[in-house]
Structure 1
Amino acid sequence: MTRLTETNLPAFAVPKPGYDRRALKGGIVHFGLGNFHRAHQAVFLDRLMNAGKGFDYAIVGAGVLPSDAQMRDVLAAQDYLYSVVEQSAGASNPRIVGAMIDYLPAADAPAIIAKLADPETRIASLTITEGGYFIDAATGHFDPTHPAIAADGKTPFIPKTVFGLIVAALKARRAAGIPPFTVMSCDNIPHNGRVTREAVVETARLSDPELAGWIAANVAFPNAMVDRITPATSDRERALIREMGIEDDSPVFCEDFIQWVLEDNFPAGRPPLEDAGVEFVADVTPWEMMKIRILNGGHAIIAYPSGLMDIHFVHEAMENPLVRAFLDRIETEEIIPVVPPVPGTDLTAYFEKVKERCANPKIGDTIRRLCLDGSNRQPKFIVPTIADRLARGLPVEGLALESALWCRYCAGITDSGQAIAPNDPNWDRLTAVAALARGDPATWLGMADIYGDLGRNPAFAAPFARWLTALWEQGTEATLKGWLGR
């Protein structure tokens, strides 16, 4: 067994950096060094560097939480190298990624600000999860009153949030006459660039309104659509990589599919990522809506009936005839018909690829992961399609059933009587409301931060109530059979 380090790279008989990592410059500071970033953005950059390009855009990691120190320590011990295992149904293909060259001390504001303010830094990128943008669920906009953001407003010289750090660094660059870096979100949220722009500008406004105006006028925040199924790493994955001859404490296992569609708005410069497979477009909205509604919406459709029927893995759910038929019918009858056209893309073919990806047995993706954080995901992935259909006078029977399944899941017990461990930042609230909704379904739809005014629309409320009642009285399997006519 060989430990993964720079010195030991020649010993590995797998694809690995073919470039001199000593020649790399840290042009990108990235917040959120989780598995998705390391299997996505970093892989594209590694591809580019292996083609002899983009050497000025190596990744320097940054973390705002003390808990990020563990990941930093693990990666530092490996010279910031790690393995990515791309898995199709028939093969597992490991590679070693070398696009990261440093990881700043966790939660060290002066060190992070100094690197962001360095003229070498051209891009600050983020994968901080959907819940990391301090969005007020009731308004859909950034919440500057959140205690963490308010604290950065009062003490902007010692920020503790990503947005406070970005503001402080942009202020330093402006004072030094250095052009601003581009801020690039790679999180799975609609219009992620616009959302990030609002967060940065409004954080700046708390302490320096003039700076906020300068940021709004001068800093680029391109929107992006990103896609790759990347489960969490467990002891299972660490054991598998050892079987491949690599001693790596932080491997990443992912599917072989990868996609990145990005608006070309980088005034400070960017790597030629189009040469590594990134698609640059003027407006990412069509691709974003396709992905969020068909793929992410599809995940929600798979998730909750499977969770209630004690199905563990996503590929096992795709082998269940009821779950697969449920997904097929909602997608083809209710979701895809209201997704706008995407240039150069057949939406039906895209959905077929989604099913193929979900059925991949090598990924080991779990139903529990798909069920996670419904209070943040449902308003982004499911509710907008319901709203679009209702606005057109179209039925929402399947989507109402999906919503009822989410409510039933949040009651905290499966059909077999197994307890469901908390699986949402708002779990206590959701379980309380789900209990009330068993007798009064309108209680669930009354959560205005989730459903807005839709809960009062009888075209949605009536089928939701009917399906929720059926789920409690008949169970998930019988209810699905009823809707599917089986």
Structure 2
Amino acid sequence: MGNFHRAHQAAYIDDLLEHGSDMRWGIVGAGVLPGERPGWQKLRDQDWLTTVVEQDVEHIDARVTGAMVDFLAPGDAAAIVERLCDPSIAIVSLTITEGGYFRDASGAFAADHPAVLGDAARPESPATVFGIMLAGLRRRRSAGIAPFTVVSCDNIPHNGHVTASALKGLAGVRDPDLAAWIEDNVACPDGMVDRITPRTSDEQVLLLRERFGIEDNWPVFCEPFRQWVLEDHFPLGRPALEEVGVEFVADVAPYESMKIRILNGGHAALAYPAALLGHRFVHDAMGDPLIRSFLDKLEREEIIPTVGLIPGTDMSAYFRSVARRFGNPAIADTIQRLCFDGSNRQPKFILPVARDRLRATGRARGLALVSALWCRYCQGSMETGGRVEANDPQWDRLRETADAARARPGAWLDMSDIYGDLGQSEAFAADFREELRHIWDHGTASALSRFASAGD
């Protein structure tokens, strides 16, 4: 029930309720992790209402949304499973970040993950979101209740397929019959979601109070732009979301590729050079000619060529719109947010593009530079002075490996759970070594300038 869900899926459902043509739907929140309890308490104290504030340079608008009708206490898996067995629950949506799907470096379900093995050993006391859903599905099957549809709202290519693989993979560890039933009966449509939504700051809470007179414990500030593209596969029915701007298409994959590679890949590429050069906000980074030139060339020459065609869509124009959104100072999106969890985000947004570029051209120099900048950041020292705060679930390991990579760059690419076969590519490894050494010898600004001017 974090900021993105409340600014995106919940806002669409609220729009539909305001529209008045499909009043059957509402949202029951469910927090899997005990750490989500502070947010639950804030929303409980205001009857699950959320103020959504849309903001750009020339526009600010606030609306109180009320699509959420309940929010089950985070960490109470038994209560969530019980609610999942309610026949009125037709759709379960997931906003659990890219790292929540238990995937290995090849993209396959990681059946040997400790959390997966724990849920497989104790299926009646699940601790993961997939274990909880499986418990609900198992009980619905036993009671003769049709299974709910599962909709991933995370930035993962083919997220419906990935979600189904996780459900079937966990079920198959202990109960192959349940895995086969899921294969035949549980719908997991693909979807693409898009709205830049940073964390809420204390300053924003104060702004909302002073500008609009609204007291909100946990408002959401976001850009006006939003997009949701969905495969139309909902056996138990769905909200009439097409009435409020959701696009239903036969094949979501081209839209996923466009957004994940150009927008999320752009965020993942600019995050670490911006941090190393001391930028706090994304719009400040976009105003830095070095970073902007680096990003423009990287997108134009290495990222956009890997994106498939969408009839009627100009990819260069799409990137220009993304760049304008990145440069929106009213959002105050932080570089720290973009840097968070690189061990999950880089394998989703950067490394698959590098593999495609290597297959197509034999080189991926700019993307190797992105990896080198990430490595340099994880070493933990800023070029502007000071230390980098821990910013990844694997921070201790990343920092130790980045230290080793200063003398032996290959140590970074040896993290096979992150790089997979990409770390064995001689062309990628050679570019990575050269870029990392240049960063250490001459600095981030020099590395960006050298890449941006190459070939001019």
More off after superposition, 184-193 vs 205-214: 205-214
Secondary structure of the 1:479 match is helix
TM-aligned CA distance change 1:238 to 1:436, over 3 Å: same
Residue 287 (str. 1) matches residue 255 (str. 2): yes
| 2:119 paired with 1:127 | no
Secondary structure, in 3 states, of the residue corresponding to 1:86? strand
**What whole-Å deviation, never above 9, does each CA across 1:162-181 have from its counterpart, x for those lacking one?**
11121111122112211111
- Once residues 240 and 174 of structure 1 are traced to their aligned partners in structure 2, the CA distance between those partners, rounded to angstroms, is 49
Cα deviation, residue 378, structure 1: 1.1
Aligned residues: 453
**Helix, strand or coil for the counterpart of 2:75?**
coil
8 Å Cα contact 2:192-2:228 kept in structure 1: yes
Query: Secondary structure at the residue paired with 1:438?
Result: helix
Letter in 2 for 1:197: A
Counterpart for residue 389 of structure 2: 421
Name the CA distance, whole Å, in 1 between partners of 2:398 and 2:122: 35
- Please report how far the alpha carbon of residue 337 of structure 1 lies from its aligned counterpart in structure 2 after TM superposition: 1.6
Deviations 1:401-457 (A, max 9, x none): 222111111111111232111111111111111111112222222222222222332
Q: Quick one: which of 266, 280, 286 aligns to 1:312?
A: 280
Equivalent residue letter for 1:252: V
Partner of 2:368: 400
CA distance in 2: counterparts of 1:144 and 1:338, whole angstroms: 30
What letter is aligned with 1:219? V
After superposition, residues 386-465 of structure 1 pair within 5 angstroms as 386-465=354-433
Q: Secondary structure at the match of 1:414?
A: coil
The one of 58, 64, 67 aligned to 2:35: 67
Indicate conservation of the 8 Å contact 1:153/1:206, yes or no. yes
Distance 1:146 1:479 in 2: 37
- Shifted more, 65-74 versus 161-170: the winner is 65-74
Give the residue type in structure 2 aligned to 1:118: D
Contact 1:262-1:280 at 8 Å conserved across structures: yes
Q: 1:194 aligns to what?
A: 161
The 1:78/1:328 distance shift into structure 2, 3 A limit, reads same
1:379 alignment partner in structure 2:
347
Unaligned 5+ runs, structure 2: none
Shift of 1:394: 4.3
Which aligned pairs between 1:76-475 and structure 2 lie closer than 5 A? 76-137=44-105, 139-243=106-210, 244-475=212-443
Q: TM-score, normalised by structure 1?
A: 0.90
Deviation sequence 1:321-341 (CA, Å, 0-9, x none): 110011101111111122111
User: What is the aligned-residue identity percentage?
Assistant: 57
Does the CA-based 8 Å contact 1:154-1:206 persist in structure 2?
no
* Distance in 2 (alpha carbons) for counterparts of 1:297 and 1:110: 38
Look up the equivalent residue of 1:65 and give its one-letter code.
L
Match of 2:192, SS state, is: strand
Corresponding position: 1:50 with 2:18: yes
Give structure 1 regions of 4+ aligned residues with deviation exceeding 6 angstroms: none
Change beyond 3 A, Cα 1:457–1:135: closer
Per the TM alignment, residue 246 of structure 1 is displaced from its structure 2 partner at its CA by 0.2
Q: For the residues of structure 2 that align with 1:147 and 1:396, how far apart are their CA atoms? A: 34
Mapped to 1, the partners of 2:122 and 2:414 lie a distance apart of 38
Structure-2 residue corresponding to 1:13? none
Where 1:435 maps in the other structure, the secondary structure is: helix
8 Å CA contact 1:45–1:54 kept in 2: the answer is no
